[in-house]
Amino acid sequence: MTTSIDLSQVTLRELNKRLHETDEGRFVVRNPRGAHALAVGITTPVTVDVEGSVGYFCAGMNMTGTVRVDGNAGTGLAENIMSGLVRITGNATMSAGATGHGGLVVIEGNAGARCGISMKGVDIVVGGNVGHMSAFMAQAGNLVVLGDADHDLGDSIYEAEVFVRGKVASLGSDCVEKEMTPQHLDTLSRLLEAAALPAGTMSAGTMSAEPGDFRLYGSARELYNFHVDDVDAAAAAKGKP
């Protein structure tokens, strides 16, 4: 069942309330007019198609829902996403996918500064470029960039991994280029396939790329307070009287 909602006639609060109370189905949202916090906190497998650009924190805290935006998004797209899918056809400004724990975020255009900041397991695929300090303090998950990355990529990164097809302006503290293993290639292939659009659609081919065209970046682990080489020494010290 498809329900059409016009935000020039219905309040945003009313829309979000209906999404929270619905267990399934598809909603088409018209005239979003840059509304903030649209489709936040979804906890059911509902599908939301937004016809137009949105403001801050669209699809924040998403869990199991599918949110598609035909337009651009403001700061904090899919912030703290837990699972499900969030896709936009345009550009996202700062902090897309921030602190995300799971799910997939697909940005067909460019993403601004701090894309994937403090990500904790989310997968983010960007069809264009990412701004400075993307993947800052990223703890887990994957950031895939088909375009270029601006300065300080992966600054203070933990165990997340960043795949970039284009140029990297500079790497942040403790972020280094790493060898791409067969496992990394499999992960990248899976993410590119998941982000791809069906053939025949208007944006088909947006995410088309060969995994071998990418470079991998991750943590050098030099900022850690704990080093695995110290395990034996610590155990020996504990055993001393």
Q: How far is 147 from 238, CA to CA, in rounded Å? A: 50
What pLDDT score was predicted for residue 56?
97
Residues whose CB falls within 8 Å of the CB of residue 193, separated by 6 or more in sequence, listed in order: none
Model confidence over 49-62: pLDDT tens digits? 999 999 999 999 99
Residue 44 CB-density burial (10 A; 0-12 exposed, 13-18 middle, 19+ buried) = middle
Q: What percent of the chain has pLDDT over 90?
A: 83
Structural contact between residues 23 and 4, judged by C-beta atoms closer than 8 angstroms: no
- Measured distance between the N- and C-terminal CA atoms of the chain, rounded to whole angstroms: 71
pLDDT higher at 74 or 225? 74
Number of domains in the chain: 1
Q: What is the pTM of this model?
A: 0.90
Model confidence over 18-43: pLDDT tens digits? 999 998 899 999 999 999 999 999 99
Model confidence over 87-116: pLDDT tens digits? 999 999 999 999 999 999 999 999 999 999
* CATH number for the domain that contains residue 114: 2.160.20.60
Q: What percent of the chain has pLDDT over 70?
A: 88
Residues whose CB falls within 8 Å of the CB of residue 48, separated by 6 or more in sequence, listed in order: 19, 26, 27, 29, 39, 42, 59, 65, 66, 67, 68
What pLDDT score was predicted for residue 188?
95
Model confidence over 147-165: pLDDT tens digits? 999 999 999 999 999 999 9
Structural contact between residues 154 and 198, judged by C-beta atoms closer than 8 angstroms: no
Question: H or E stretch including 12?
Answer: helix 12-21
Is pLDDT at 183 greater than 70 in this prediction? yes
Boundaries of domain holding 93: 2-237
